[in-house]
Amino acid sequence: MSLQDQFTQAQADSKNLSERPDNMTMLKMYALFKQGSKGDASGERPGFTDMIGRAKFDAWEALKGTSQDDAMQQYIDLVADLQD
């Protein structure tokens, strides 16, 4: 199975976890998914009143420079760990 196929499968598996991960884990999953699918963060950082958007953007921005393949693999590994 190719890395892209594993990434797509992990995305599907993440929707069927037995329990919802904590907020920090959810942010990490979001950031790894965005880095794996889009690359480095782009666009404007959300404004002060959008705290959730800012947290998501900051988590993604923290992965700047991480290759898309590496981010995909980290996402796959994280989802696999959450399934155990």
Is 54 within 8 Å of 12 (Cβ atoms)?
A: no
CATH of the domain at 30: 1.20.80.10
Locate 35 and state its tokens. 């880095």
Is residue 84's pLDDT more than 90? no
Please give the pLDDT value at position 12. Answer: 95
This prediction's pTM: 0.92
Q: How many residues are recorded in the chain?
A: 84
**pLDDT digit string, tens, across residues 61-72:** 999 999 999 999
Q: How confident is the model at residue 45 (pLDDT cuts 50, 70, 90)?
A: very high
pLDDT digits (tens, 9 = 90+) for 9-32: 999 999 999 999 999 999 999 999
Please count the structural domains in the chain: 1
* Mean pLDDT over the full length of the chain: 95
Query: Is 90 exceeded by the pLDDT of residue 55?
Result: yes
Give me the residue label for tokens 């959810």: 26
Domain span at residue 56? 3-83
For 56-71, b where at least 16 C-beta lie within 10 A, e where not — what string? bbebbeebeebebeeb
